[in-house]
Structure 1
Amino acid sequence: MSRFLRASLVVLCLASCGGGGNYSAPRQLDDACAILRERPQYRRAMLATERRWGIPVHVQMATIYQESKFIGNARTPHTFALGVIPMGRQSTAYGYSQALNATWEEYQHSAGSRRAKRDDIGDATDFMGWYMDESARKLGLSKGDAEAQYLAYHEGRTGYAAQSYLNKPWLVEVAAAVGARSEMYREQLAYCR
């Protein structure tokens, strides 16, 4: 085998192994302990967020599940004109937390690093902690109330204060599911720590 061919194979192997982050979802999304065992970096990130902002791990996990199913590079679907002409994405939401561009930039200026990335679990959970801490302070929400925190997260604080979610029965159902999942994760985490 020629030197060039061997070098090419080595480079190809290395490129296929180290090409960026693991953006796929963990295997068992209904088991908080299994998620954290499979992805120990999630545990570190969420515990750091809990220490910094006071948002419990189970609330973070339930919100991330709803927003991205733990897929680090999740994006909203494309919209199409006439069913075939691509018109861009539904929104600028991206990453684990599905943070919008403007809100992410506000976070970067206020509490995060200018280099923070939405597809980095540590940055994404810190963003969620920052946002939910602000919601707790400005709206009087409990940091452990995943359902109310999710409504404020989805609608924005102004929308939550105006109770815009009351005109969206589907969203109220989704928020209730986030609350139920948060409780399920809380119970599971009590046994796997």
Structure 2
Amino acid sequence: MKKLLPLLLLPLFLTGCFSTPAVTVNNICTLMDEEVSWYRSVKAVEKKYDVPVHVLLAVVYQESRFASDAKPPREKLFGIVPWFRPTTAYGFAQAVDGTWDWYKLKTGNHNADRDDFDDAVDFMGWYMNQSNKRSGVAKSDAYHQYLAYHEGHGGFNKKTYQKKPWLMKVARKVENNAKRYKRQLNQCASELNSNSIWSLF
């Protein structure tokens, strides 16, 4: 039995090791130039829900670092053995099962996948639009949009984030990234728009 124990535990250690490499983004223009279809997706969401591209991208970066199969890290059993994950969050948007199901029900996008960038950012745009309707958060307000995204509309309206200094710090980071992405995108918008058009032919 002692010899079998390492073999039984091996799948636990391997689970989660095989994932899309996270992307470090210093300049969002470079990434959008490389991933033209992603740029088309966020522009489509901006047009559909009136959520700015730089806000969408800043939240995607914070949630998944643009990794399609991102998941929360596993908790540790006895401090060493990887155990269950704390939530069902998955994909580019780190949407949990219940919220994703709500999105599919309300939008009719029943075949949506969380590891599909187009579906993930459409979900984000839809959710931020809901945050605007349900919680009065401006769509351009990356700081409060992220807090509503993390806490849910009920929690945000109750201001549960005020008891979480670490979360407000993360939201401020999202806000700063959104501002940086906005400046960068202003400099490369014409080139990206050109790439997006010509890639269709």
Q: 2:107 aligns with which of 107, 111, 123?
A: 111
Amino acid at match of 2:54: H
> Pick from 16, 21, 25: which aligns with 1:24?
21
Specify every segment of 5 or more residues in structure 1 that has no aligned partner in the other structure, as ranges: 1-21
Mapped pair 1:143 → 2:162: no
Q: How far, CA to CA, are the matches of 1:37 and 1:148 in structure 2?
A: 28
1:43 maps to amino acid? Y
Alignment RMSD (CA, Å):
1.4
Cα contact 1:112–1:127 (8 A) shared by 2: no
1:36 counterpart residue number: 32
2:60 is matched with 64
AA matched with 2:41:
A
Alignment size in residue pairs: 171
Aligned to 1:91: 87
**Equivalent residue letter for 2:91:** G
Compared CA separation, residues 183 and 135, structure 1 to 2 (3 A): same
Question: Aligned pair 1:167/2:163, yes or no?
Answer: yes
Distance 1:146 1:112, change over 3 A: farther
Whether 1:76 and 2:72 are equivalent positions in the alignment is: yes
Equivalents in 2 of 1:189, 1:128: separation in Å?
19
Cα distance, 1:105 vs. partner? 0.4
User: What TM-score do the two structures reach when normalised by structure 2?
Assistant: 0.82
Length-normalised TM-score, structure 1: 0.85
Q: Distance in 2 between matches of 1:153 and 1:30?
A: 23
Q: Distance in 2 between matches of 1:180 and 1:67?
A: 15
**Cα deviation 1:124-176 (Å, max 9, x = unaligned):** 00000010000001111110000000000000011100000000001111101
Question: Which amino acid letter does the alignment assign opposite residue 21 of structure 2?
Answer: S
Match of 2:49 in 1: 53
| Runs of 4 or more above 4 Å deviation | none
- 1:128 equivalent in alignment to 2:112: no
Q: How far apart in 1 are the matches of 2:166 and 2:150?
A: 12
Q: Report percent identity of matched pairs.
A: 41
- How has the CA–CA distance of structure 1 residues 112 and 44 changed in structure 2, closer, same or farther, with 3 Å as cutoff? farther
